[in-house]
Amino acid sequence: MDDTQLNRLLTPHDKWSESPEVLDAMLERVARNAAEQHARPSLRPRGVRIAAAVAALLSVGAIATAAAVYIAPNFTPDAVIPISYVTDEGTTVECTYSLAVRSWDGTDVTEAKEWIASHDWTGIGQRGYDLGEQNPVSVGDGDVDPELTQEDVDQITVFRGIENAIGNEIPFELINEPGIGTSGTSTCTWVRH
């Protein structure tokens, strides 16, 4: 109920509505109805919301992939970062992550591009893998779509860890402006074990 509806409810229009008892009873009823509506459980179970979020994420990924294929001829990375890590089972993984800083509104990103191009990225793959292992995604977690396999969540764990490690490495002040962002592509398959 908004203020206008409440004012209309409380404004006396005839003799019976001027009675404080009637107004009190009406206010009690409005409050009880509002409390009941807010106490009702969501119509969609949590798993459905999570599945919808994952589906949206995958849709965004599909759109981003399609955009990357379309934009690929125009994608020039500022740095091709070598990713190298050893998994918990001793598997050595090597791949690359191509990273670019972009400005959507004409903001000068030269300093960020130069920093990314000249930065020593040595060890970022292992730091990212370790970061993912500290915060793993697991099948059965409350926020994980039950349709995902263990292999899927393992890939998500490694991808998030490495992407976060790369993002954390870049000085915040270089990319903390509206209209500035990063884009990237990778040859990695995000092997966890």
- 176 and 93 co-located in one domain: yes
Residue 162 counted as domain residue: yes
Q: In this structure, are 89 and 157 located in the same domain?
A: yes
Q: At what angle do helices 124-134 and 150-169 cross, to 10 degrees?
A: 130
Domain count, the chain: 2
108 belongs to a structural domain: yes
Instruction: State mean pLDDT over 130-149.
Output: 86
Q: Is the dihedral of CA 122, 169, 183, 54 positive or negative?
A: positive
Q: What does the pLDDT read at residue 43? A: 45
- The verdict on 88 and 20 lying in the same domain is no
What separation, in Å, do the N-terminal and C-terminal C-alpha atoms of the chain show? 55
Residue 46 in domain: no
Strands 92-103 and 180-186: antiparallel
Mean pLDDT for 68-77 is 64
Q: Are residues 22 and 88 in the same domain?
A: no
* DSSP-derived secondary structure for 99-125: EEEEESS----HHHHHHHHHS--TTHH
**pLDDT value for 32:** 63
The pLDDT tens digits of the residues spanning 34-43 come to 555 555 444 4
Query: 36: which 2 tokens?
Result: 């009941």
How many contiguous H segments (helices) and E segments (strands) does the chain have? 7, 3
Residues 32 and 104 in one domain: no
Q: Does residue 28 sit in the same domain as residue 96?
A: no
Q: Which domain holds residue 112?
A: 77-186
